[in-house]
Chain A
Amino acid sequence: MDKNSAALYKKMQTEVESYQTLQKSCVKMVKQRALLESQLNENKCVLDELNLLGPDNKVFKLFGPVLVKQELEDSRQNVGKRIEYISKELKSSSDTLENMEKDMLKHREAVAKYQQQWQVAAAMK
Chain B
Amino acid sequence: MAGTSNESAKAEMIDLTKLSPDQLMQIKQEFEQEMTNIQDSLSTLHGCKAKYAGSKEALEAFQPEWQNRQILVPLTSSMYVPGRVKDLNNFIIDIGTGYYIEKDLEGSKDYFKRRVEYVQEQIEKIEKIHLQKTRFLNSVIGVLEMKQAQAAKLLQAQQQQQTSQTA
Contact = CB atoms under 8 A, between A and B. Distances in A.
Contacts of A1: none
A97 B96 CA distance: 28
A56 B165 CA distance: 94
A43 B102 CA distance: 18
Contacts of A75: 99
B100 interface: yes
B92 interface: yes
B103 interface: yes
Contacts, number: 48
Interface residues on B, range: 10 to 19
B96 A60 contact: no
B4 interface: no
Interface in A32-64: 39, 42-43, 45-46, 49-50, 53, 57-63
Contacts of A58: 101-102
A62 B100 contact: yes
Nearest to B110: A52
Interface residues of chain B: helix, strand, loop or mixed (majority): strand
B64 interface: no
Interface string B144-157: 00000000000000
A49 B107 CA distance: 11
B101 A67 contact: no
A42 B94 CA distance: 12
A86 to B, nearest CB: 10
A108 interface: no
Contacts of A43: 96-97
Contacts of B107: 57
Contacts of B100: 59-62, 67
A70 B102 CA distance: 11
Contacts of B101: 49-50, 53, 57-60
B40 to A, nearest CB: 12
23 contacts: A43-B97, A45-B95, A45-B96, A45-B118, A46-B95, A46-B96, A46-B97, A49-B95, A50-B99, A50-B101, A58-B101, A59-B100, A59-B102, A60-B100, A60-B101, A60-B102, A61-B98, A61-B99, A61-B100, A62-B98, A67-B100, A79-B99, A82-B97
Interface of B: 92, 95-103, 107, 111, 118
Given A57-B107, A63-B98, 17 more contacts: A43-B97, A45-B95, A49-B95, A49-B101, A50-B95, A50-B99, A57-B101, A57-B102, A58-B101, A59-B100, A60-B92, A60-B99, A61-B100, A62-B98, A67-B92, A67-B100, A79-B99
